[in-house]
Structure 1
Amino acid sequence: MSLYFSGEVTFVTFTGIDLHDFLRLRNRLFSGITIDIFKLNVEDSKINLDFIHNFIDNFKIGRMHFVLNTASEFENANSLMAEFPTSAYAMDLLYLPETDKLLSLPALDHLMIVQDKIPAKLFLKLLVMHNTLYSGHEPIEMNAYDLKDAMKIMSADARVRTVQTAMIRSNVVSILRKYAITETTTSSGFCGE
């Protein structure tokens, strides 16, 4: 588990200490704590959800950032997010959850899906919901209509957005040619869209 404090302590790692002793010390020293970013990587963690609930009791957290590997970790993250409704959220998914669970997430400042290929239609739905979207290393198979829909979604949204995805080169070339964009097209050219 890592904590990032803005301005003062940049990184704290809890290893090799009794976490329950740490909780007692925290309760004696602080009545409330404000944390800018609380990042929880639960990979191979022996820390259970009850401990985390006790640890962050009376915290004010600006942004909760989760790194998740399994469906049970996803459920635990949802439980923690429900307890901090005014916080911003970020999530790095090292697997692809079921579509209905993924679409049930609140709006995230940052969503990264690293390992699995995301279907184009799901990518478009996620694009509507989240400020920053990284689709990882697997290319998304978009056709010209999917790409056009993605451009419309981003153009209609006033938020500052970051979107990063991989696409198959031949699909990109095909899409560009569909709209009459070729090697000789100039930046001032007009292609009807």
Structure 2
Amino acid sequence: MSLATLPAWVAEHYEEKGPVKWLAFFLESCAALVLFALMTLTCMDVIGRYFFGNAVNGAVELTEIGLAILVFAEMPIVTWRGGHVVVDLLDSFISNKLIRILGLFSAILMSGGLYFLAERMFYLGNRSLRREVVTEYLEIPVGYIVQYIALMSYATAVLMLTYGIYRIIKETRD
């Protein structure tokens, strides 16, 4: 695929509108690359361990970091697409208007929770960088990973809030 056909491919495969479409493409591409790297790392670790008697040094640390990158890269997109688990036990007993109000309230509540979580994580990331906290074997600075988690939590909070409002407005029009 050439770069000229990339916008057409993204437009065909992503239903999001505007900049969220490109954000989804970028984050899913990052997650896919990390997943491929984790698969390769695991294969090399197993091959090294069983055939050469020597595992890849730091494979556990790299796997932990890779999983953090993978999960938090997908979190904003899953949130925007409304892919979270929803329990709708009471929906048949209450009105559609109340369901929309509760949906908006939950979006605001989750966004607020993610925002405050991100604030705390960013603070902890800065503190880890000041204290020069590193991983045990590879000595990778932990603060950068924690700050990445905070940034993705900020993005998820914003997308949750905008998605909640978008969903309420869209359902009101339909």
The TM-score, its normalising length taken from structure 1, stands at: 0.25
Q: Flag the structure with higher strand content.
A: 1
Indicate the structure whose relative CO is greater, using CA pairs within 8 Å and at least 6 residues apart. Answer: 2
The TM-score, its normalising length taken from structure 2, stands at: 0.27
Q: Flag the structure with higher helix content.
A: 2
